[in-house]
Structure 1
Amino acid sequence: MMMRRVLFMVLLVFLSCSKDDSAIVNPNPEKNTAPGVPELIAPANNLNCTDNILDFEWKSSVDKQGDNISYYIQIATNDTFSENIQSLTTLKTTTSFEVLKGVVYYWRVRAVDSKKKASEFSLIRRFNTEGDGLSNHLPYLPSLVAPKLNQKVLEGSVMLQWLAEDKDNDVLVYDVYFGTTRTPDLIAENINKSSYEVALDLGNTYYWKVVVRDSFGGETLGQLWSFQTE
């Protein structure tokens, strides 16, 4: 009886030592994360294009898990990418689009890994294509000065500031949109300064944008910016 018990214990030890390690499940598998955000190369921001077949290029993204990456590019005639949009997915970091003449375009790219995990979109770039016999260039896309994007500022008031330029050195005026939603209200129209003071309440996220207009009626819609109060 004692001999049987000893043999049984030896058999248990042997079986426990000969288990297939591949059957062991990792209790803490690595979480899949999105690839890095692509960095745009060309066309350059505010480029005035004379050709209507354009090459687009961006830098490769890095995926921490080593997954294969594809890229999703969007082109549209507004910076919310809701009008006249063109898009495609490619494994390359270059592609070409045919665009209309005499139109302002916006473009952006995001990276997607083989598990369908997508990065944030890149920064938006703007370019315009010259029309036949075009004599006036549209103002350049306004750039943010202050407050910085997503900056936290004190309640009370703040001076919204931006920078805008025009290739023809035309006189520029501005419409300012401001509010607590992503579709801010028009609060100032046809002002001739690139700054505007607004009142703030505590604990809000504020959104704002600027429309730039030259003396020939050429108009450029700026990007949506935001900041918070504390």
Structure 2
Amino acid sequence: MKKEVTSFLIAFIFMFLSCSKSDDTQPPPPEESDLVAATLSFPTNNLICTNFQLEFRWSNNNTGAVENQIEISKEQNFTNPIIREVVTATFKIFTLEKNTTYYWRMVSKRPGSETSVASEIWKFDTEPNPVSNNIPYGPTILGPTNGITVSGNTANLSWNAQDADNDPLTYDVYFGTSNPPPLLAAGVTQTSRNVDLQGAGTYYWRIVVKDDKQSAAIGQVWNFTAN
């Protein structure tokens, strides 16, 4: 009987140690499994840009530490990208050649990891030969005038834009408390828009003018202060 009890205890201890060892096994770090691609914002796909000193924008869709790399190439397969640079913000200005087709994408990975994920590939052209189409003129500000102080809980953004070909125009409105400001509305047909103010501080806004032939003129960043 004593021998049977001893055997039972030994078997029980062995099972306990086996289970404890099994519990020590950890799943792979979530940082590797939850990596997602960045979302491209500007320049948009198939856009024709008047600026060859161009501001690129994207969104980082990951939490935790992540390394984002922008790649710009004249080839769709990115065999020899002209720009491959790790960036810490969600925007970056690059000076490019005129009358050139470019492709761009973002590549994201965790620091120290070889696993990466690439975004969509978007194509755009810089200032083409104006014989085929004139790019819209850059927008001019009507109000609030640059640097002014306004009162109240709302403001009316107002601007003017023209096109030498008299093409129909639409507008992308960027507005917010950061500089550069985020996109507020795309494809607006009016040349004014009411915006809500979130208290006192400095507000930034910008207008991108587009014609119906995918040409665009990017306006400067304007600002005003709310009291």
Normalised by the length of structure 1, the TM-score is 0.46
